[in-house]
Structure 1
């Protein structure tokens, strides 16, 4: 993880930056799936928890070869008018490190009840008796809205930037460019 590319969302009168970030992230995710890549990490250097936002920059982390291969796929077709992208650049030598991972939460009791009813061959009323409203959780993490290619449903991908660490931890990244253990350089 010695190289990076920053992709900045440009202001647009027709689309919010949140919608554009979702489209950008979705395109990158599909490219990572196509390449079966597990050596590219993604972070959001402008993220904040209050107000919840991933910010306007998506940063790709990896080796020069991995990032060049990803960019050669023309995975950003249709986004070029909405983004500004830096070239490949070396990670600063004084960079800290952090884990950027996906977090999943039970945020909708009614959805959990429908799922339980389907999986356990119960009625919706039986599922309501077993799953109280108190399972719902308010989440303060920023997220990106994506569309599942398999189900066609929109879902929220919650992203947590972990604590800063002095040393890198190597590992593999998901097709979302996230890892529960591997770190990305943070600067």
Structure 2
């Protein structure tokens, strides 16, 4: 159950903006969650907005007081200390509503899907174009983190979607990105 939270605020400078710092911060968090096998820590973004599309400058970590203390007791923020302000661990407001914070994936490029199909099925460009029309493309309107895959090294956009608000918390585990389609975090 996510009873406590801590806010990590990125502090941009003339060379690095808030979105880049937030991506780097989340990338470090992802590595720390994997290394320390912390499945009870979820994330949220208090500055989340669709119009304008932004996650804001705060990454909020949710969990038990013990799990957050365990994470903060490690050296995972070492390289970002000059660009991140960390609050103390606090109890989430008792009357908070709850929601899921999850990843949303999109089929964003018909051309990329066609190239993939050609490799996998040994098809020609014409065959792949027939199988995958341009109409499959979607233009995402959700805020995202720009991060790099640990397994392939490729950069990608991690789109963040919010579930509906609820009065009741739903316990559960979070993935190595701190996201879940079922477990909720307090939303305040």
Aligned length: 187
Structure 1 match to 2:116: 115
Tell me the alpha carbon deviations over residues 129-162 of structure 1, each in whole angstroms, 9 at most, x when there is no partner.
2111111001111000110111111011000112
- Counterpart CA distance in 2 for 1:88 and 1:171 is 20
Distance 1:124 1:72, change over 3 A: farther
- Counterpart CA distance in 1 for 2:126 and 2:21 is 39
Structure 1 match to 2:39: 38
Aligned-pair CA distance for 1:83? 1.0
Structure 1 match to 2:93: 92
Tell me the alpha carbon deviations over residues 37-69 of structure 1, each in whole angstroms, 9 at most, x when there is no partner.
210000001110011100010000001111111
Aligned-pair CA distance for 1:114? 1.3
- 8 A Cα contact 2:12 2:21, kept in partner: no
Structure 2 match to 1:173: 174
Alignment of 1:13-162 (within 5 A): 13-162=14-163
State the TM-score, normalized to the length of structure 2: 0.96
Ranges in structure 1 where 5+ consecutive residues have no aligned partner: none
- Counterpart CA distance in 2 for 1:185 and 1:178 is 13
Give RMSD over aligned pairs. 1.0
- Counterpart CA distance in 1 for 2:125 and 2:17 is 37
Displacement over 3 Å in runs of 4+: none
State the TM-score, normalized to the length of structure 1: 0.97
